[in-house]
A and B are shown apart, each in its own frame.
Chain A
Amino acid sequence: MNYIRVFYEVPPLPWILRYLWLIPALPIFAAGISALLPKAKRRLSATLAIGSMSGSLVLAIAALVHAIAEPARQVVNFPWMQFGAQWVSLGWLLDPLAAVMLVMVTFVGLLIFIYSLGYMAHDDNFTRFFCFLSLFAGAMLGVVIANSLLLLFMCWEVVGLTSYLLIGFWFHRPAAAAAAVKAFIVTRVGDLGLLLGMVWLYAQTGTLLFYNNGAGCLESSAVAAMGAHLTAAGMAVSTAIGLLIFCGAVGKSGQVPLHVWLPDAMEGPTPVSALIHAATMVAAGVYLMARVYPLLDHTTLAVIAWVGAITAFFAACIAVAQNDIKRILAYSTVSQLGYMMLGLGVGGVAVGIFHLITHAFFKSLLFLGAGSVIHGCTEEQDIRNMGGLRRFMPVTFVTYAAAMLALCGFPLFAGFWSKDAILEHAHAWSLSLGPYYLGAIGALLTAFYMTRQMYYVFFGPQRIAEAAPLESPRPPEQCVILHPHESPSVMTIPLTILAVFAVFLGFVGTPAWPWFQSFLSATPLAFSMHAFMEPGLIALMLYSSLLVFAGLLLGWWFYGRKPITRATDPDALGRRIPVIFGALAHRLYVDEFYKYTVLLLARFVSALSAFLDRWIFGGVVNLVSWIVTGLGWFDSGVDRFVVNGGFDLGCRELSVGGRLVASLQNGRVQTYLRVIAGALVVFAALLLWGHRG
């Protein structure tokens, strides 16, 4: 196959498509250079990271502009490697879905990079941090533009790797190291499913390219063939493959039951939590399902919707009883990812991705705000030890409040429109109303736990002074600030920019003007206020708004009515329902459940394997080695004592004889004379008497 021919097969390929690969390549390049820089080159490393990200952002915006003008999907494929008679091709694609993701990742990423300048300013490993961040951004952008499940999987794994590296960035803290390993292993469980699905997909269709002029695995002929093919259990092959790929998304996007790694991942630096574990990487699972959406049939979508709804509800419950500011946000992220999956399952790509985009903005804002709070409170993360920060950190407070209202789905904020679209589609879902109710209750809980967090962190009297400082990742001499303070402007400016989006971004996808949805699904767009007049829509919006208000009110009732005065006060809700609250505070014992089931099984299997290895396989190996050693000894004995001994004996005899003969010629002339005289005597004797006898 001719590389050049394939590359330029369609003559007037737009330049943005030809150079689309630069978007992930720039940050990866920056990461590569950063990795080689000495530790002290902090400024250069940050410049490289931010510069490459800015370049990617410019290109991504150009790609979005191109996709708006030309919404048809365009792909560039190239052969990568040959095995057997077949070529494995890779490629990239540009369609509205990829374009909006590109802009979101580069834009949020750039803001978080800038924020990190302030947040990580005192860290010794600043250079390493930016190297990992750039690598992450590059790999994530690679996931977005990949036109091949194989390329997507490779980038997916690099993303997982950087997630591991960044969670364990402060690896000298045992909790961080453990969290990194946990994240890596738990996502690996899901990735196994993804890998199996990928292999099966290749076996079925013979290609891993998504789109390839009718020959790709997501195009109608391949999907129809897979839908017609049944597995042993009577399930369509496409269903089985879709569910396996969904396993990967479950692991990466923290869906129940593989959500346990995401809250622990908060051990990483806060910008990492914002970028990777809130805005982009965890959303990659949702993006993956959106990408392979043509493959998914009703069964798979139903599974996705149920898993998403259960996750949304389950994680929101747990978030109610957490006390670590980042852990609350982490469970909130899990819950929101559940909403995205629910939206994807019941309403299609546009609904899920719309929530993904709005969530990326307000959740990264929440995390950055939490980072600002943590930074201002000298590494304090327990909300019970905060309080009253509204007065000290006005910018953080206002932006945090905007993001919190967006997350709760307060009317007209970004989250309102995207979450409402999900609930609307869940309500209209033909199979069951269960996911709708779970999502609605989740929305109420979201408003409740965010209000609780707001009251704990920003209202009431300041409680930081009485609290003992927690274990800090930085040396104590850098923690000289005793009173809470606002963060530097390098941190607050990204907060402000994100806050603007958190408030207004929802207006690109309202029911009256569904630009976003029509852009993604390539349907004609029309502005009409009559969309609100559709039967039931306004009522649904009212219901969900009422739920949000109820959540806010409940939050105020429990936490806002009487100010929380002391850090040691028991939780207001915990006093009412101590049993349930305790169980929620222990995260419903999911970790313990895994500890006593999966881990116990794993320990048992590993002990069994160790036993087998040491005594059975090792025994055989040792036996063989003993036999071989014994044979070797025997052989060496034969060699040494029989063969060598014989030679040695012969040589010794020869040498003794030689020495004996040599002693005859001792150089003493009189010895010779004596011999001659002796011989003469013998001679004479023979002459005299010899002839007689």
Chain B
Amino acid sequence: MNPLAACLLVSALLFAVGLAGALTRRSAILVLAGIELMLNAANLNFIAFWRFGTHPEALTGILFVIFAIAVAAAEAAVGLALILAIYRHARTSDVSEITEMKG
């Protein structure tokens, strides 16, 4: 097994864990955490493809990931703020009970 495949396997496992967490957890915060895991699995893929790709000397992969982490931080802040607002409104953070947005 070459290092790229190992990295991709790790990131796939990480993605699977994140997806499982996002799909099964009731708490909105844990769902958000699952989403972060999946995001970071993607980041890991970026790094892996950059490091073991054809031009490791150009800093494209790391730059992309740094941006992605910065955006993810902002996104997490917005997500947490939304969860807080929903909690204030509905007195719960259980996503299976927050169904008011349905058509």
Contacts and interface: CB of A to CB of B under 8 A. Distances in A.
Nearest to A666: B102
Interface stretch (A94-102, A272-280, A604-612, A670-678): A670-678
State the majority secondary structure of interface residues on B: loop
A666 B97 CA distance: 11
B95 A670 contact: yes
A662 interface: yes
A667 B23 contact: no
B32 to A, nearest CB: 11
A669 B103 contact: no
A667 B102 contact: yes
Contact of B98 (A665, A667, A673, A677): A667
A670 B99 contact: no
Contacts of A673: 22-23
B101 A667 contact: yes
Contacts of A668: 95-96, 99, 102
Interface in B22-62: 22-24, 31
A670 B22 CA distance: 7
A669 B102 contact: no
B42 to A, nearest CB: 12
Contacts of A665: 102-103
Given A667-B99, A668-B99, A670-B96, A677 B19 contact: yes
A62 B22 CA distance: 124
Interface string B86-103: 000000000110111111
Contacts of B98: 667, 669
A479 to B, nearest CB: 94
State the majority secondary structure of interface residues on A: helix
Nearest to A681: B19
B41 to A, nearest CB: 13
Contact of B95 (A662, A669, A674, A677): A669
Contacts, number: 28
Contacts of B19: 677
B103 A662 contact: yes
A662 B98 CA distance: 17
A649 to B, nearest CB: 25
Interface string A339-360: 0000000000000000000000
Contacts of A669: 31, 95, 98
Interface in B60-103: 95-96, 98-103
A677 B16 CA distance: 10
Nearest to B24: A670
Nearest to A669: B95
Contacts of A674: 23
A565 to B, nearest CB: 117
Contacts of B101: 667
A669 B19 CA distance: 13
B23 A670 contact: yes
B99 A677 contact: no
B100 A667 contact: yes
A479 B22 CA distance: 112
B40 to A, nearest CB: 17
A464 B48 CA distance: 146
B101 to A, nearest CB: 5
Nearest to A677: B19
Contacts of A670: 22-24, 31, 95-96
Contacts of A666: 99, 102
Contacts of B24: 670
A677 B19 CA distance: 8
Contacts of B23: 670, 673-674, 677
Interface of A: 662, 665-670, 673-674, 677
Which 10 A-B residue pairs are closest in the complex by CB-CB distance? A667-B102, A667-B99, A665-B103, A669-B95, A665-B102, A667-B101, A666-B102, A673-B23, A668-B96, A670-B23
Given A668-B95, A668-B96, A670-B31, 18 more contacts: A665-B102, A666-B99, A666-B102, A667-B99, A667-B100, A667-B101, A667-B102, A668-B102, A669-B31, A669-B95, A669-B98, A670-B22, A670-B23, A670-B24, A670-B95, A673-B22, A673-B23, A674-B23
22 contacts: A662-B103, A665-B102, A665-B103, A666-B99, A666-B102, A667-B98, A667-B99, A667-B101, A667-B102, A668-B95, A668-B96, A668-B99, A669-B31, A669-B95, A669-B98, A670-B22, A670-B23, A670-B31, A670-B95, A670-B96, A673-B23, A677-B23
